[in-house]
Amino acid sequence: MEKIYLLLSIFILSSLCSNCLRAEEIMVNGQASAWVGYSEDLHGGIRYIPELMVSHRLTEGSDIDGDISLNAYIFDEDNDLKLYRLWARYATSQLEMRLGLQKINFGPAKVLRSLMWFDQVDVRDPLGLTDGVYGLLGRYYFLNNANIWVWGLYGNDELKGLETFKTDEDRLEFGGRFQHPVPRGEIAFSFHRRYLDSEDWKRKMAPRPELAKGSENRYGIDGNWDIGVGLWFEAVVGKIKINRKENLWEEFLTVGTDYTFAIGPGIHTLFEHFIESSGPEVFEQENVNRFSALSIDFSVTLLDSVNAIWYYDWRAERIYTYFDWQRTYDNWMVNLSIFSSRKDETGMYGGTGVQCMFTYNH
């Protein structure tokens, strides 16, 4: 299926490029980054993400555009070259249809996200990188600022977002979202359905019963308001159908608030609390995890900014810390980070350590 997406997107992008003389915009961008850090041992890496974007006006009110980018990196003993984004889009003032390898995310939470269904953006990552998903996304924007999303995904065999079990890549997963304005804010409802990979279930859940059904329905509701302070929540309930008699329920809840204090250039403070649980019946909490996060960020000078995040794991009764100083120029960005987190956490911010990153955008 990945090859089908590749061929379709390349065909559309090629069609766009064949009209380059009439194209309103052709952009070639790139982002190069290099980092060195210490966490138990010295490590480092380099990454380059080249990007080609093409846009063409079809009619007075409609456009078609495309994006292709690669992710080439060397990180310790790991190195790879893979597609990062590959999509084509048709858009009008109210309608958008996007096909291919793309980023899909939504929800008001910033740090501890219950609605992290399709991306894995880490708020500690200065670059905000995440793998995309293969699929078709449609969005329609009403004149009253309400909007509706519809998506269909296929061929995604890796874990996405907060998933515990992989998806059966040979079956379609689909869903949608409706978002509507309310006084001083907005509220939204989301739904997603997929089928689990039975082999992945067997590896992780043995000796529990094998999957006879394997379907998962996920329901989400979220809202956010600006009443002088920012307030938001995300709530998700997921039902995995194991067989006719047994289910596995998962629940996620995030509540958050933020406020900018009028001190100096402004000190932005954010707090979120997150609960995840699972059990054989809905809201029967056999396994419960709770986390809280406090984030403070502010500008020191026109070029320098500071961001600090404290996490509290209520089960382990441990505090984890992340501190980042960032200096930004026209094309360059320098980040110096100090962090402490769980030793078993994967990625660049696992354990306790320090990291310096240089980023160049062109």
Mean pLDDT confidence for 19-23: 51
Give residue 11's pLDDT: 54
Whether the per-residue pLDDT at 268 is higher than 60: the answer is: yes
In the block, residue with structure tokens 């555009």: 65
Give residue 21's pLDDT: 46
Radius of gyration of the chain (CA): 22
Give residue 348's pLDDT: 73
Region of 264 (left: φ > 0; alpha: ψ -120 to 50; beta: rest) is left
> Using an 8 Å Cβ cutoff, are 107 and 191 in contact?
no
Whether the per-residue pLDDT at 334 is higher than 50: the answer is: yes
Residue 256 tokens read as 């958050």
Give residue 211's pLDDT: 77
User: Phi/psi at 7 (nearest 5 deg)?
Assistant: -65, -45
Higher pLDDT, 311 or 1: 311
Residues of the chain above pLDDT 70, percent: 92
- Mean pLDDT for the chain overall: 90
Q: Per residue in 58-78, pLDDT tens?
A: 888 899 999 999 999 998 778
Count of C-beta atoms within a 10 Å radius of residue 324: 20
> Using an 8 Å Cβ cutoff, are 62 and 90 in contact?
yes
Whether the per-residue pLDDT at 14 is higher than 70: the answer is: no
DSSP 210: P
Which helix (H) or strand (E) segment holds residue 135: the answer is strand 133-141
* Cα 357 from Cα 5, distance rounded (Å): 33
* Cα 120 from Cα 19, distance rounded (Å): 36
Give residue 286's pLDDT: 79
Residues with Cβ within 8 Å of 357's Cβ and at least 6 positions away in sequence, in order, are 33, 34, 35, 126, 334, 335, 337
Q: Per residue in 181-232, pLDDT tens?
A: 999 999 999 999 999 998 888 888 876 777 777 899 999 999 999 999 999 9
Count of C-beta atoms within a 10 Å radius of residue 169: 17
Give residue 23's pLDDT: 54
Residue 42 tokens read as 């010295």
Region of 201 (left: φ > 0; alpha: ψ -120 to 50; beta: rest) is alpha
Residue 337 tokens read as 């980070």
pLDDT band for position 79 (50/70/90)?
Answer: confident
Whether the per-residue pLDDT at 24 is higher than 80: the answer is: no
Instruction: Give me the amino acid identity at 77.
Output: E
* Cα 352 from Cα 321, distance rounded (Å): 9
Residues of the chain above pLDDT 90, percent: 73
What global pTM score does this model have? 0.88
> Using an 8 Å Cβ cutoff, are 248 and 231 in contact?
no
Give residue 76's pLDDT: 76
DSSP 196: B
Count of C-beta atoms within a 10 Å radius of residue 158: 11
Give residue 17's pLDDT: 54
Whether the per-residue pLDDT at 47 is higher than 50: the answer is: yes
